[in-house]
Amino acid sequence: MLVATPIGNLGDLAPRAVEALRDADVIAAEDTRRTRALLTHAGLSARGRLVAVHEHNERGRAVELVDEIRRGGTVALVTDAGMPGVSDPGVLVVRACAHAGLRVDVVPGPSAALAALVVSGLPTDRFVFEGFLPRKGSERRARLAAIAREPRTVVLFEAPPRVAATLADLVEVCGGDRPVAVARELTKVHEETFRGTLADAIDHVATQPPRGEHVLVVGGAAPAAAATDDDVAEAARVELAGGASTKEAADRVADRLGVARRRAYDAVLAQRRS
């Protein structure tokens, strides 16, 4: 059973979550110390039921937990905060249970990603969750480039020491005018949500050192202007000049400009005849 836990305010622990933790034979926790404190708050005893499941041992623990369930035991899986499996351990355990044909229930509850999204003031009808970006290298650049093109609202997690750098990278690829909400310490005493542009957010973060986990909610990219006939003709000319065949040129033009392949093909043929 996946059990969501508070992302800050312990008062958000649901009654059903308390029941699930009370009745579980084993509680698989990302950090047993934090979960022990949560159990104490709820008036529950660990009674030797806690086992650690984190990013370094989840694969092996998944096998052990499947065996426990097969023996008739009830397992509750929690992480330090929020819903297990969302940028936290849990995915491999669920996958192992599903592969073994075991039932997996869920006790829904707090989610930092959704909490930040709904208070951001940005569109919520369509959004994507990116989690934590890679720290460096080509993979980070590729993810940032994808975010810059993404028309839907984007939700990111970030640790305090890297917030300023990530905002600067987002300005570089998205432009300083892109809207953003920066949420921190959600549900806690010092909860704050900053709303403005990416450029404004950099200035805001510079005035007060970031503390606590952050959620960045970035507005989607504006729709690209439709390609004109001149745009399509020029793109076709460039592709042919580079040695592409008619089909290759048409495919590349269609993909790059987002136009119909028939339109791209006709433009390539026109260039060949000219």
Contact status, residue 94 vs residue 127, Cβ threshold 8 Å = no
**3 state SS of 64:** helix
Alpha-carbon distances, residue 29 vs 85, 171, 187 (angstroms)? 12, 37, 21
CA 36 to mean position of chain CA atoms: 27
**What residues are paired with 215 via a beta bridge?**
157, 183
Alpha-carbon distances, residue 234 vs 113, 240, 251, 258 (angstroms)? 43, 10, 14, 14
Q: 112-218 falls under which CATH superfamily?
A: Tetrapyrrole methylase, C-terminal domain (3.30.950.10)
Matching CATH number, 2-107, of 3.40.1010.10, 3.30.300.90, 3.40.50.300, 2.60.40.10: 3.40.1010.10
Alpha-carbon distances, residue 132 vs 33, 48, 157 (angstroms)? 24, 33, 5
**What residues are paired with 197 via a beta bridge?**
179
Beta-strand pair 153-158/26-29: unpaired
CA atoms lying within 13 Å on the CB side of residue 46: 18
Contact status, residue 21 vs residue 44, Cβ threshold 8 Å = yes
**pLDDT tens for each residue of the chain, 274 residues long:** 999 999 999 999 999 999 999 999 999 999 999 999 999 999 999 888 999 999 999 999 999 999 999 999 999 999 999 999 999 999 999 999 999 999 999 999 999 999 999 999 999 999 999 999 999 999 999 999 999 999 999 999 999 999 999 999 999 999 999 999 999 999 999 899 999 999 999 999 999 878 888 999 999 998 878 899 999 999 999 999 999 999 999 999 998 888 999 999 999 999 999 8
Alpha carbons 97 and 84: distance in angstroms, whole number: 14
Joined together, the tokens standing for residue 80 give 């330090």
Alpha carbons 193 and 4: distance in angstroms, whole number: 23
DSSP-assigned states of every residue in 213-242: -EEEEEPPPPPPPPPPHHHHHHHHHHHHHT
Joined together, the tokens standing for residue 208 give 């007060």
Residue ranges per structural domain of the chain: 2-107, 112-218, 229-273
Joined together, the tokens standing for residue 202 give 């950099």
Q: Look up the pTM and report it.
A: 0.81
